[in-house]
């Protein structure tokens, strides 16, 4: 809160705004002084009827006005971190530039903003559109040295830059911004680069600071955006996070998700009414829902999006049942330390009917694969699920043993495939595979073992094709060919597999920067020879 706003009687301000004794110009001045720091104006917003009630007066002399609804709500939002996300054509990019304009009008030379895209070339349209907002106000545009920016007559500055990876963020150390805007945050497989920029979000002069990002559903960052902003609370609900610094009192960080749909951008619909018709013809239903409705619950842009639909998941995901004694159980591993590791336990059907007591559970073709349990080595960071536990290999082995004892008492679990990198040794220290097989290092070999996964030429693409074939077989009812099924308690498989994105340069492969660890472990299980089970050269 700015010094001028401390102790303000918001009821008196609201009464003044309704008074006939003040002219429209005077009321506008009262509004702008009151709303210079929007972190402190919620009482006034409520008293005056909300952003859409205030907007017409507040923006009365703007030549380019925000749309009623989400765009106006964005302008008056005082949360520290705002995710303005949803459908295509929702006015997200223009909303960001109007948001900074308002900040600049209130704080002048103290307003320092920067808009990021993952690639510099992606800024071209945004810069072109920015002329409509800033040029009529006599802001000056600078493009020297490939570093475009706008500067207002009183010294406010808005830069346009690219931020592709974490090392790019490091180059901004020592710089300070009061507004950081992340355009198309869904193109980032991880929030790490953006999170590093938080260290630059500061003002030595008391100007309010905010981090804002926008995105459409789908793409590389779908999972972490949904986990961080969409799932924790209903839309337009402020989420408060309590932070405990080493010194001083507990601090509150406020985050909010403001959804924007195409219907919230009347100028676009009025000027281009056929845009909706074009969106309706973009392809699959999930893509229409993503681009037209901003639906974050769809499966979008995934390697298996055409299979793991809502209907497809009903076939693939099963309630758990006792694994028949005749079915062999294998453990599989994709190793990770800084990134999560994935341990999956897989049972293979023998083709006979399965009973739970006297109750028939089902009957599946022989060699059908069932993911019956999992251990996902994620730190469960709500900000970024793609962070590992950094456990020692010996501790992972002990964790596997403990879980197998609980999950499969009196059953033998067979060595299945593991990431072949765990077998690499530098000739001095033991390999990760050795540490897992012999956790105590006394040659007792009382740990867990695996077999090396197949990582030969073309194994990734052929593995994804084998997985696609097995999942497709699972959709048939009754099933005729071996399929792949997942017990409903394997929540991380269910969370990550439907939204597994394709590689932008090689659509036959997955994006290895995404949360692909469970997918890799599943692929190993399909394409690696295991003791006692014969598979053909292509896998199942």
pLDDT at 498: 86
- Looking at the fold, whether 516 and 484 belong to one and the same domain comes out as yes
Domain boundary among 21, 42, 61: 61
* Residue 300, in any domain of the structure: no
* Residue 436, in any domain of the structure: yes
pLDDT at 391: 97
- As a whole number, mean pLDDT of residues 312-326 equals 95
CA quadruple 277, 279, 282, 286: dihedral sign: negative
Residue 85 to residue 294: CA distance in whole angstroms: 8
- Looking at the fold, whether 361 and 233 belong to one and the same domain comes out as no
More confident residue, 446 or 270: 446
Cross-strand pairs, 252? 242
More confident residue, 521 or 296: 521
Residue 540 to residue 534: CA distance in whole angstroms: 9
Residue 453 to residue 525: CA distance in whole angstroms: 8
Residue 5 confidence class, pLDDT cut points 50, 70, 90: very low
Residue 323 to residue 127: CA distance in whole angstroms: 59
Q: Is 298 helix (H, G, I), strand (E, B) or coil?
A: coil
* Residue 299, in any domain of the structure: no
CB atoms within 10 A of CB 395: 13
* Residue 305, in any domain of the structure: no
* Residue 533, in any domain of the structure: no
Residue 265 to residue 283: CA distance in whole angstroms: 23
- Looking at the fold, whether 139 and 32 belong to one and the same domain comes out as no
More confident residue, 377 or 88: 377
Q: In Å, what is the CA distance from 253 to each residue of 46, 192, 335?
A: 21, 18, 34
Is the model's pLDDT at 10 over the cut of 60? no
- Looking at the fold, whether 47 and 84 belong to one and the same domain comes out as no
- Looking at the fold, whether 318 and 371 belong to one and the same domain comes out as yes
Domain boundary among 61, 80, 103: 61
Give, as one character, the DSSP assignment of residue 366. Answer: T
Residue 62 to residue 424: CA distance in whole angstroms: 64
- Looking at the fold, whether 55 and 68 belong to one and the same domain comes out as no
Is the model's pLDDT at 320 over the cut of 90? yes
pLDDT at 92: 87
| Mean residue pLDDT across the chain | 87
More confident residue, 162 or 282: 162
498 close to 508: Cβ distance less than 8 angstroms: no
CATH classification at residue 180: 3.40.50.300
- Looking at the fold, whether 285 and 431 belong to one and the same domain comes out as no
* Domain extent for 190: 63-290
Residue 386 in tokens: 């793609």
- Looking at the fold, whether 150 and 107 belong to one and the same domain comes out as yes
- As a whole number, mean pLDDT of residues 9-24 equals 66
Domain boundary among 61, 80, 112: 61
Residue 187 in tokens: 């193109």
- As a whole number, mean pLDDT of residues 444-460 equals 88
* Residue 317, in any domain of the structure: yes
- As a whole number, mean pLDDT of residues 184-202 equals 91
Tell me the Ramachandran region of residue 256: left when phi exceeds 0, alpha when psi lies from -120 to 50, beta otherwise.
Answer: beta
Is the model's pLDDT at 385 over the cut of 90? no
- Looking at the fold, whether 233 and 106 belong to one and the same domain comes out as yes
- Looking at the fold, whether 24 and 88 belong to one and the same domain comes out as no
Q: Convert 89-111 to b/e letters by CB count within 10 Å (16 or more is b).
A: bbbbbbbbbbbbbbbbbbbeebb
Output the furthest CA–CA distance in the chain (Å, rounded): 90
CATH classification at residue 376: 3.30.420.280
More confident residue, 275 or 148: 148
pLDDT in tens, 216-254: 887 778 878 888 999 899 999 999 999 998 888 999 999
* Residue 297, in any domain of the structure: no
For residue 190, which of 535, 529, 512, 461 has the smallest C-alpha distance?
512
Q: Convert 529-540 to b/e letters by CB count within 10 Å (16 or more is b).
A: ebeeeeeeeebb
- Looking at the fold, whether 135 and 41 belong to one and the same domain comes out as no
Q: Is 214 helix (H, G, I), strand (E, B) or coil?
A: strand
- Looking at the fold, whether 86 and 46 belong to one and the same domain comes out as no
More confident residue, 505 or 76: 76
pLDDT in tens, 479-492: 999 999 999 999 99
For residue 294, which of 261, 263, 257 has the smallest C-alpha distance?
261
Residue 27 to residue 1: CA distance in whole angstroms: 21
Cβ neighbours for 348, distance < 8 A, ≥ 6 positions apart: 327, 328, 330, 367, 368, 369, 370, 533
Is the model's pLDDT at 536 over the cut of 50? no
Tally of domains within the chain: 3
Give, as one character, the DSSP assignment of residue 228. Answer: I
14-18, 153-157, 291-295: range with highest mean pLDDT: 153-157
Q: Is 413 helix (H, G, I), strand (E, B) or coil?
A: strand
Whether the pTM exceeds 0.75: the reply is: no
Q: What is the 3-state secondary structure (H, E, C) of 109-166?
A: HHCEEEEEECCHHHHHHHHHHHHHHHHHHCCEEECHHHCCEEECCCCCEEEEEECCCH
CA triplet 324, 329, 331: central angle to 5 degrees?
155
Residue 160 confidence class, pLDDT cut points 50, 70, 90: very high
Percent of the chain, pLDDT > 90? 59
Supply φ then ψ for residue 103, to 5 degrees: -60, -40
* Residue 500, in any domain of the structure: yes
539 close to 364: Cβ distance less than 8 angstroms: no
pLDDT at 29: 63
Is the model's pLDDT at 532 over the cut of 60? no
CA quadruple 57, 63, 67, 70: dihedral sign: negative
Q: How long, in residues, is the chain?
A: 540
Cβ neighbours for 310, distance < 8 A, ≥ 6 positions apart: none
pLDDT at 175: 95
pLDDT in tens, 37-73: 666 666 667 777 888 888 888 888 898 899 999 999 9
């Amino acid at each position: 809160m700015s010094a001028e706003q401390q102790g303000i009687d918001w009821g008196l301000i609201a009464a003044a705004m309704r008074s006939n004794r003040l002219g429209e110009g005077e009321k506008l001045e009262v509004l702008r002084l009151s709303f210079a720091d929007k972190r402190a104006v919620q009482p006034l917003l409520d008293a005056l009827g909300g952003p859409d009630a205030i907007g017409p007066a507040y923006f009365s002399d703007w030549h380019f006005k925000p749309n009623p609804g989400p765009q106006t709500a964005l302008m008056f939002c005082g949360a520290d971190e705002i995710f303005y996300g949803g459908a295509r054509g929702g006015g997200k990019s223009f909303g960001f530039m109007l948001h900074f304009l308002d900040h600049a009008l209130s704080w002048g030379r103290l307003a320092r903003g920067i808009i990021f895209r993952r690639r510099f070339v992606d800024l071209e349209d945004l810069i072109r559109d920015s002329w409509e907002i800033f040029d009529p106000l006599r802001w000056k545009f600078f493009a020297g040295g490939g570093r475009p920016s706008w500067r207002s007559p009183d010294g406010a500055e808005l830069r346009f830059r690219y931020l592709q990876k974490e090392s790019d963020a490091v180059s901004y150390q020592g710089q300070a911004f009061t507004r950081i805007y992340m355009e198309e945050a869904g193109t980032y497989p991880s929030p790490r680069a953006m999170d590093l920029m938080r260290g630059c979000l500061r003002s030595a002069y008391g100007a309010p600071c905010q981090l804002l990002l926008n995105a459409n559903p789908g793409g590389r960052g779908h999972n972490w955006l949904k986990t961080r902003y969409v799932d924790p609370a209903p839309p337009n609900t402020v989420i408060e996070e309590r932070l405990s610094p080493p010194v001083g009192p507990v601090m509150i960080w406020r985050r909010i998700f403001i959804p924007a749909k195409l219907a919230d951008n009347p100028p676009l619909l009025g000027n281009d009414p056929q845009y909706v018709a074009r969106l309706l013809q973009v392809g699959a239903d999930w893509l229409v829902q993503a681009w037209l409705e901003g639906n974050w619950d769809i499966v979008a842009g995934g390697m298996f999006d055409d299979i793991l639909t809502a209907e497809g998941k009903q076939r693939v995901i099963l309630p758990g049942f006792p694994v028949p004694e005749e079915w062999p159980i294998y453990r599989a591993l994709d190793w990770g330390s800084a990134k999560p590791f994935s341990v999956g336990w897989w049972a293979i059907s023998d083709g006979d009917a399965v009973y739970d007591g006297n109750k028939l559970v089902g009957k599946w073709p022989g060699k059908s694969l069932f993911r019956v349990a999992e251990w996902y080595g994620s730190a469960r960071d709500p900000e970024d699920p793609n962070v590992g536990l950094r456990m020692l290999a010996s501790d992972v082995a002990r964790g596997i043993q403990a879980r197998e004892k609980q999950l499969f008492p009196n059953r033998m679990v067979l060595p299945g495939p593991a990431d072949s990198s765990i077998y690499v040794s530098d000739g001095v220290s033991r390999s990760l595979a050795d540490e897992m097989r012999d956790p105590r290092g006394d040659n007792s070999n009382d740990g867990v073992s695996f077999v090396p996964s197949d990582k030969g030429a073309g194994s990734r693409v052929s593995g994804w094709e084998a997985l696609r074939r097995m999942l497709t077989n699972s959709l048939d009812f009754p099933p005729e060919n071996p399929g792949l099924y997942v017990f409903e308690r394997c929540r991380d498989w269910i969370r990550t597999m439907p939204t597994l994105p394709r590689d932008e340069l090689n659509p036959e492969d997955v994006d290895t920067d995404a949360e692909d660890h469970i997918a890799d472990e599943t692929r190993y299980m399909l394409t690696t020879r295991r003791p006692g089970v014969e598979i053909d050269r292509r896998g199942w």
